[in-house]
Amino acid sequence: MRSNISRRELLRLLGTGAALFGMDTRRAFAVSETESRGSIASTAAASAHEPSRVVADPTDIPPPIKRGHPIHHEVALEALEVEGEIEPGAKYDYMTFNGKVPGPMLRVRRGDTVTLTLHNNIRSTTWHSIDLHAVYGPGGGADILKVLPGKAKSVTFKAVFPGAFIYHCAVPGEMDVHIARGMFGMIVVEPEQGLPHVDREFYLGQNETYTKQLPGTPGPRDFDSDRLLLEQATYVVFNGAYNALTAGRFGAMKAKVGETVRVFMVNGGPNLLSSLHPIGNIWSRAWFMGAFATPPMRFVQSLPVPPGSAIVADMELPVPQTIRIVDHAMTRAMNKGVMAEIEVAGKENPGIFNANPLKSPSTGPRQRG
């Protein structure tokens, strides 16, 4: 178990921590102690019930914006600590926005204004906050939106610049733990002219977490502060759970041959860079780092998505297949759960890919050698 002193020293070395945020350091460290024992009171009370499904539906996102003028949004988010399952039968104490990982996708147009209210559920064990990278302001809003259990606070901000951005809990001294437990999501600020049309959109959130137990072992999962300090993640996942968005768990995403699909992916981290790759396809158009003001890259195999950043990337679907989206740091995809599937249904297209070339008439001279 990591000691309070080492934590304090770590914060000092990082030049950050509780003092920077004007916070009571004793409370921050007390929370750390509680968490390292894995005894979150509110979720312990819920453990007699079925664990929540924390895995966010990747299609549960707001539609593209068609407006030509700015508007004002009233947005409410709730910090909610829930017990879920990171693997079947492996309970894990999550911290979430609105009970899901990632938190809800917020979608606005450049020039819109947003009044964001963060409620912290009364059963929470600690305070929570929110830092939005789409915001000009102290802490990305987090300096004001530090909310104790049972309380709520609000800020109003203008979406000045376009892009796809992370939001995350930024509770002083513990934000790495809270993000590892699930407290992150995406805010999309569409450019004034909107984004190019696609047929389907999917929303993924990658993060990693640090547990005393390894994947595949039985029983509940306890948070491991030592592994966090050493950045030795035991799980790397999309949408909060091991292989969550696959046919073998909560189901694959679906699409059809001839369609175009767009993936919004936010990497919460807290520490690991993702190398986002669609096995059997290519990112045909990608806004690197979610930067809509920069022309998209074309035909990219693996997109680096740093922690605290996002990507927006499109695929063409010329052939039927199951596309497996992975972090191409392959040990993570093979062993730690960072895999999602898109099942593409439709007619074969042998001019693009032919699985039975010997049964088909030759389409031209063959290359020898």
- Minimum Å distance from CB 68 to Cu ion? 37
Q: What is the smallest separation between the CB atom of 115 and Cu ion, expressed in angstroms?
A: 21
In one-letter notation, the amino acid at residue 173 is G
Q: CA 342 to CA 2: how far, in whole Å?
A: 40
Handedness of CA 19, 21, 26, 32 (dihedral sign): negative
> Per rule CB under 5 A, is residue 146 in the interface with Cu ion?
no
User: Which range of residues in 11-19, 161-169, 184-192, 240-248 is near Cu ion by CB under 5 A?
Assistant: 161-169
253, HSE (Cβ side, Cα atoms, 13 Å): 25
The yes or no reply on residue 169 touching Cu ion (CB under 5 A) is yes
Which amino acid is it at 362? S
Q: Cβ distance 52 to 97 under 8 Å?
A: no
Closest distance between Cu ion and the C-beta of residue 179, in Å? 8
Site residues for Cu ion, 36-95, by CB under 5 A, read: none
Residue nearer to Cu ion on the CB measure, 149 or 318: 149
Which residue is closest to Cu ion by CB? Answer: 169
Question: Phi and psi for 86 in degrees, rounded to 5?
Answer: -80, -25
Structure tokens at 348: 């074969």
Quote the CA–CA distance of 293 and 359 in Å, as a whole number. 48
Q: Binding Cu ion by CB under 5 A: which of 171, 272, 323, 344?
A: 171
> Which phi-psi region, left, alpha or beta, contains residue 68 (left: φ > 0; alpha: ψ -120 to 50)?
alpha
Minimum gap (Å) between residue 169 Cβ and Cu ion: 3
Q: What mask, x for binding Cu ion by CB under 5 A, covers residues 122 to 141?
A: ------x-------------
CA 357-362-368 angle, to 5 degrees, is 85
Nearer to Cu ion, 86 or 177 (CB): 177
Shortest distance in whole angstroms from residue 135 CB to Cu ion: 17
- The stretches of the chain forming alpha helices (DSSP H) are 4-14, 25-36, 41-46, 175-180, 225-230, 330-331
The DSSP output letter for 297 is: B
Nearest approach in angstroms of CB 321 to Cu ion is 39
Nearer to Cu ion, 135 or 261 (CB): 135
β-sheet bridge partners, residue 283: 300
- Gap between the Cα atoms of 209 and 224, Å rounded: 9
Task: Give the x-and-dash track for 175-214 against Cu ion (CB under 5 A).
Answer: ---x----x-------------------------------
Residue 191 has which token pair?
């450019």
Cα–Cα distance for residue pair 177/207, rounded to 1 Å: 11
Stretch that binds Cu ion, among 37-45, 172-180, 209-217, 250-258 (CB under 5 A): 172-180
Q: Choose between 133 and 178: whose C-beta lies nearer to Cu ion.
A: 178
Which residue, 159 or 175, is less far from Cu ion as judged by CB? 175
Peptide bond into 102 cis (omega under 30): yes
Cβ proximity to Cu ion: between 35 and 327 the closer is 35
Cβ at position 330, least distance to Cu ion in Å: 31
Count residues binding Cu ion (CB under 5 A). Answer: 5
Closest distance of CB 62 from Cu ion, Å: 24
Question: Restricting to residues 90-129, which ones interact with Cu ion according to CB under 5 A?
Answer: 128
Residue 80 C-beta: closest distance to Cu ion, Å = 10
The two structure tokens encoding residue 294:
């920069």
Binding residues for Cu ion, per CB under 5 A? 128, 169, 171, 178, 183
